[in-house]
Structure 1
Amino acid sequence: MDISNELIESMLVKFKSERKWTLQAIQQLSEEDITWAPNSVSNSIANLVAHIRGCGHSRIETIFLNIPDTRDRDKEFEHGLIMTKEQAFNKTKEAFDIIILFLEHLKINPKLLLSQPSLNLPPLTYSQVNNETTILNLMIAMVREIHYHTGQIIYIAKIRKGQLVWQYNEN
């Protein structure tokens, strides 16, 4: 048994599950639900989706795909951020697709887990990791952070809708 492949496969299962439940929750919401926040200092689903998409951009697209960093992290958390239900669904799907595609790439190249791809980049713009971090550390941080925020999305959806309907046989 190769621990690298087991770890990557575990992360893939986790992210695919998070994508499934988050997209199902968003589908059951109204346009108003996407921008609703419990209070003036809490995030809306729009904020959380923007942040999840921003994480995928800065932690995978910028570092591994050399796509210029256009992330505005502060805007992700602006109170009153406007986003349609369709945009929330699509941005969530995009974020998870980026993460899952990258993990599929790691399955083929598991030795990359210990590489440090940010060593020669400008300082990273988020505090959880620094330029000396390994891909393994970066992906573990993403598992934690994405799970945290998808949990918030589902909790807000339940506050707004009460009981949600889950389709267990969908991918």
Structure 2
Amino acid sequence: MDHFTPFLSAMLNVFESHKQMTERAIAQVSDEGLRTALHEHTNSIAVIMKHVAGNLISRWTDFLTTDGEKRDRNRDDEFVDTFATREELLAYWERGWTILFDSLKGLTPEDLEKTIYIRGDAHTVPLAIQRSLGHTCYHVGQIVQVARIQAGDEWTTLTIPRGQSEQFNKERWGEGTPGK
């Protein structure tokens, strides 16, 4: 049985949906809001996005042949807001995601059997993908939460609005019980 195609399709789907969720969230935040940390010991949305992109660039460039922690990566700099404009930030963000998607789409079934390294630690390819997915989703959650706070009363929900689950279920499944 071919496990590769559904596995890779699922991974791409979840990565893509989280990228889109982030972009829908930050579209609701001002340029100033992107750069504002909620507390002195937290990161702004811009910094979190820079870190996610830097991580994706490092992990997914030459994914199968080099350690995921590239020698030229300056991880500490990822936590300093250095972009002058939203456009610069989004260009870097897009670069990281493009490298991820190109790398994932270039994998073959045989690649799932390979061992890759991250910071010198061995990982199976599926484990490395899951590790990257978990890391990315963790930070997407942070971005969405901060964006929600920054947007305040102007926020448009990214999923089913509060108090509208029953309405959603009726629209999705009619009068019957979900899943039946």
TM-score (norm 1): 0.79
Q: Deviations over 1:121-140 (max 9, x none)?
A: xx72xxxxx43212211110
Structure 1 position 65, deviation (Å): 7.2
In structure 1, stretches of 5+ residues that fail to align are 125-129
Q: Secondary structure at the match of 1:13?
A: helix
Report how many residues are paired.
Answer: 154
Amino acid across the alignment from 1:111: E
* Partner residue in 1 for 2:54: 54
Q: Secondary structure at the match of 1:132?
A: strand
* Partner residue in 2 for 1:145: 135
What RMSD in Å do the two structures reach over aligned CA positions?
A: 2.4
Amino acid across the alignment from 2:78: E
* Partner residue in 1 for 2:16: 16
Structure 1 position 105, deviation (Å): 1.0
Match of 1:131 among 104, 110, 121: 121
Q: Deviations over 1:58-81 (max 9, x none)?
A: 111154476x64211112124xx2
CA separation in 2, counterparts of 1:27 and 1:91? 16
Q: Give the structure with the larger strand fraction.
A: 2
Q: Deviations over 1:23-62 (max 9, x none)?
A: 2222232221111101111011121111111111211115
Q: Aligned pair in 2 of structure 1 residues 165, 92: CA closer, same or farther (>3 Å)?
A: farther
Say if 1:30 and 1:85, in contact at 8 Å, map to a contact too.
no
Say if 1:45 and 1:153, in contact at 8 Å, map to a contact too.
yes
TM-score (norm 2): 0.75
Runs of 4+ off more than 6 Å:
none
CA separation in 1, counterparts of 2:90 and 2:25? 10
Match of 1:155 among 124, 128, 145: 145
CA separation in 1, counterparts of 2:109 and 2:93? 26
